[in-house]
């Protein structure tokens, strides 16, 4: 098939990969700091998507400009999910910090089911649609279509990533995060409140997931209570693929999974896209278990 087809698929792949990367960042940060795979992370993403549609619809009904609505809703939904994640951490993970890892993992799975059902019961089983004034629009480059939403997703992902990097590598909180992830006990001895740092990590990860949730809602037009599950698994795969615990790795992993999926669907068949995404994951785990960008995480360090 021709070049236009390839370029169009490339754009599709980058958009999808960017979304996966944003969700994967939360997985990777939480794993990096307390070696916990937070299965409830996909639900923060869904909650963010719902918060977005509720806020945008409300603000739009107040007669605000669609883009102003979007900006305010984005900030509020990210804040909401950050608080939600801190509450979840306090309730479901903190009491189990000294328990076996399996207990924390099961607690995470339970939290995921609880949150998903909570969304279903409060928001209903039907899909909720985003207002179209924001979601539609785009332009043509020859025969290639680019929607404004795609540009927005890639741009916002890049901006959030830069912000996250600044936070982790240039601030005191970031330094404390890195220290806690290396050694919780030693960092506590030098005066870092590790419980607070862990809560902040959860909050930042969930805020990024919330942003991804809103973008998915805008990009695809609607949100659904069960929308967190599949992207959650894919983002988890992306985090592992890139090297779990590594921020750049999450970005690279997300982009790879997104691209592989789109190209498998585009050149082979739509039913094979998940197969190929996970074949890549299994291959990486087999040949380079630490992931593409990962270093060895010492288990005994916890």
Partner 1 sequence: MKRLLVLVVALAALGLLLAGCGGEEKAEGKVLKIGTMSPLTGPYAADGNDIRQGAEIAVEVFTEAGGIEGFTKIEVFPQDTACDPKQAVAAANKLINEKVTGVVGAYCSSSTIPASETLAEENIIMLTPASTSPKVTERGLPYMFRTCGRDDHQAPAAVKFMKDVEGVKTIFIVDDKTTYSQGLAEGVAAAAVAAGIEVLEHDHVNQGDKDYSAVLTKVKSANPDLLYISLQNSATGALMVIQAKRLGITAILMGQDAVYHPKLMEIAKGDSEGMFCTFGAIDKDAPKYKEFQTKYKEKTGNEPGAYSAYSFDSATAYLMAVKAAGTTDPVKVREELMKLDFTGASKQVKYQENGDSGSNYTVYMIKDGQFVPYWNSLTGEKY
Q: Which residues bind partner 1 (CB under 8 A)?
A: 1-2, 4-5, 8-9, 12-13, 15-16, 120, 125-127, 129, 132, 135-136, 138, 140, 143, 145, 147, 216, 220-222, 224, 226-227, 230-231, 261-266, 269-271, 273-274
Q: Hunting for tokens 């279903």 — which residue is that?
A: 120
For residues 109 and 185, which CB has a smaller minimum distance to partner 1 in the complex? 109
First to last CA, the chain: 51
For residues 114 and 220, which CB has a smaller minimum distance to partner 1 in the complex? 220
3-state secondary structure of 222: strand
Query: Nearest approach, Cβ of 229 to partner 1 (angstroms)?
Result: 8
Alpha helices in 35-147 (DSSP H): 41-61, 66-88, 101-123, 132-135
Query: Nearest approach, Cβ of 165 to partner 1 (angstroms)?
Result: 27
Maximum Cα–Cα distance across the chain: 61
Query: Nearest approach, Cβ of 110 to partner 1 (angstroms)?
Result: 17
For residues 143 and 182, which CB has a smaller minimum distance to partner 1 in the complex? 143
For residues 63 and 142, which CB has a smaller minimum distance to partner 1 in the complex? 142
76: how many CB neighbours lie within 10 A of its CB? 16
186: how many CB neighbours lie within 10 A of its CB? 13
For residues 133 and 183, which CB has a smaller minimum distance to partner 1 in the complex? 133
Query: Nearest approach, Cβ of 278 to partner 1 (angstroms)?
Result: 12
Cβ-based burial of 96 (10 A; exposed 0-12, middle 13-18, buried ≥19): middle
């Amino acid at each position: 098939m021709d070049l236009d087809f390839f370029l169009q698929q490339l754009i599709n792949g980058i958009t999808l990969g960017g979304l996966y990367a944003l969700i994967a960042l939360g997985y990777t940060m939480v794993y990096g700091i307390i070696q916990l795979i937070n299965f409830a992370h996909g639900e923060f993403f869904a909650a963010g998507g719902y918060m977005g549609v509720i806020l945008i619809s409300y603000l739009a009904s107040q007669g605000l400009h669609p883009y102003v609505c979007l900006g305010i809703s984005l900030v509020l939904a990210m804040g909401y999910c950050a608080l939600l994640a801190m509450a979840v951490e306090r309730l479901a993970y903190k009491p189990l910090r000294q328990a076996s890892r399996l207990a924390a993992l099961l607690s995470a799975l339970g939290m995921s089911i609880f949150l998903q059902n909570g969304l279903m019961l409060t928001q209903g089983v039907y899909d909720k649609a985003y207002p179209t004034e924001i979601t539609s629009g785009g332009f043509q480059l020859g025969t290639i279509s680019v929607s404004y939403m795609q540009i927005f997703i890639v741009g916002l992902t890049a901006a959030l990533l830069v912000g996250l990097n600044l936070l982790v590598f240039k601030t005191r909180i970031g330094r404390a995060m890195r220290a806690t992830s290396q050694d919780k006990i030693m960092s506590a001895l030098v005066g870092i409140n590790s419980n607070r740092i862990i809560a902040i990590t959860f909050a930042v990860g969930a805020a990024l997931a919330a942003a991804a949730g809103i973008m998915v809602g805008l990009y695809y037009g609607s949100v659904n209570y069960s929308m967190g599950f599949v992207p959650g698994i894919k983002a988890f795969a992306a985090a592992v693929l890139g090297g779990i615990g590594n921020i750049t790795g999450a970005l690279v992993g997300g982009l790879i999974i997104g691209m592989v999926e789109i190209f498998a669907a585009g050149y082979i068949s739509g039913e094979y896209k998940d197969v190929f995404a996970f074949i890549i994951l299994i291959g990486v785990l087999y040949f380079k278990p630490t992931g593409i960008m990962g270093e060895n995480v010492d288990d005994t360090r916890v």
